[in-house]
Structure 1
Amino acid sequence: MSNSYAQAILRTTDVAEAVRVAGLLLNLADTRELEVDFEAGVSTPHDLERLSEVLPDADWWSYGTARRGSSRSGDSPSECLPIFMSRWCLGPDSVEAFLAAARNVPAMVRWDFSGWPAAPEIGLGCGGTRGAYVTVCVNARDVYLEDLATDHTVYVHVKQIEAQRSTWLAAQVGLQVIGELQMAPV
């Protein structure tokens, strides 16, 4: 696992607005090789059923004080709740169904693409694949899905050495950064 550095640029109670802003950012990016990753913290059998329908074959593992199972062990996820589900490398057409299934579950959609555009006004060339992501966290205010909330946060990911790209990207879509740059697992 590698890391990127994420910075929040929008917090909203409207998930459609968060996805719209993610789309504006993706319009700036080199998306010739676009993949989407999904993660969710699941606590109830009903949430598990809904999310399993849109994330078939998802990897999962239990979390919290009662850690006791995972997909790798062949356990039943319904017997190991709460669990954390993860499914990588799906197409962008999966986003709407995933967000509809997530409802009030802390969840994350991360778009992974080929790179950010050049930002000559701040001295940066095109960014490569490392650190080129857009993330929407629903019902959570952090990329780890630990700070639960009733709102949703949009993050841009950049290389740590190119931290100023976050501010530049936010400005390109009429926003500004919120908070500090933070390490994010990818």
Structure 2
Amino acid sequence: MANSYAQPILRTADLGEALRVVRQLLELADTGGLEADLEAVARTPRELERLAEVVPGADWWADGSGRPGTSREGGAAADHLPVFLSAWCRPTHLAEPFLAAAGSAPAMVRWDFNGWPAAPDIGLDRGGPRGAYITLVAHASDLELDEPADAHTVFVHVKQVEAERAPWLAAQVGLQVIGELVMAPL
């Protein structure tokens, strides 16, 4: 399992504003190989149904320590609510429908791509794919979707040795970092 380091640059109650910032960041990036990883915690049968319509065949497991039930074991996700859904390497056009389907459920979209641009004014060359992600967390305040919130947070991911790239990226879209750089397991 690889790790990146993520730093929040926007927290807002307006999902549209968060998506606008994501689009601005993607305009800076080398989006070759662009794909999206989608995750959510479905707590009700209706949330599960809406999410499954957008990402049929998503992996799932019972959410919570020691609770039995996974898609690998078979059975119905609805019998194990709440469940954590995960669908990686999906087309990016699913991001907005996925977030809409999640409703008020904690959800996350991570955009993966080939790299960040060079930042010569801070001494950084073009970044490669390791550590080149943008994550939008909806209705949670953390990357693991453990802490429910009324807001949405945009994180930029960078290599730990290039931590100064995060504030540089935030400045490119008129923002600044608003929290600490944290390890983000992938």
Aligned residues: 186
**Of 28-37 and 57-66, the range deviating more from structure 2:** 57-66
Q: CA deviation at 1:97?
A: 1.0
Q: CA deviation at 1:18?
A: 0.3
Alignment correspondent of 1:60: 60
Give the distance between the partners of 1:63 and 1:40, measured in 2 at CA. Answer: 10
Structure 1 moving runs of 4+ over 6 Å:
none
What are the Cα deviations for residues 139-169 of structure 1, in whole angstroms up to 9, with x where unaligned? Answer: 0111111111011000000000100000000
Where 2:86 maps in the other structure, the secondary structure is strand
Alignment correspondent of 2:42: 42
Q: Following superposition of structure 1 onto structure 2, how do residues 28-107 of structure 1 map, counting pairs within 5 Å?
A: 28-65=28-65, 67-107=67-107
Q: Does 1:110 align with 2:114?
A: no
| Contact 2:166–2:177 under 8 Å retained in 1 | yes
Give the distance between the partners of 1:102 and 1:34, measured in 2 at CA. Answer: 22
What are the Cα deviations for residues 7-56 of structure 1, in whole angstroms up to 9, with x where unaligned? Answer: 00000000010010000000000001100110001111111011010011
Give the distance between the partners of 1:16 and 1:38, measured in 2 at CA. Answer: 18
Q: CA deviation at 1:185?
A: 1.4
Q: Following superposition of structure 1 onto structure 2, how do residues 1-186 of structure 1 map, counting pairs within 5 Å?
A: 1-65=1-65, 67-186=67-186
Where 2:152 maps in the other structure, the secondary structure is strand
The one-letter code sitting in structure 2 at the alignment partner of 1:169 is L
Where 2:71 maps in the other structure, the secondary structure is coil
Give the distance between the partners of 2:110 and 2:182, measured in 1 at CA. Answer: 16
Where 1:25 maps in the other structure, the secondary structure is helix
Q: CA deviation at 1:66?
A: 5.6
Q: CA deviation at 1:75?
A: 2.2
Long gaps (5+) in structure 2 = none
Give the distance between the partners of 1:68 and 1:82, measured in 2 at CA. Answer: 11
Q: CA deviation at 1:136?
A: 0.3
TM-score normalized by structure 1? 0.98
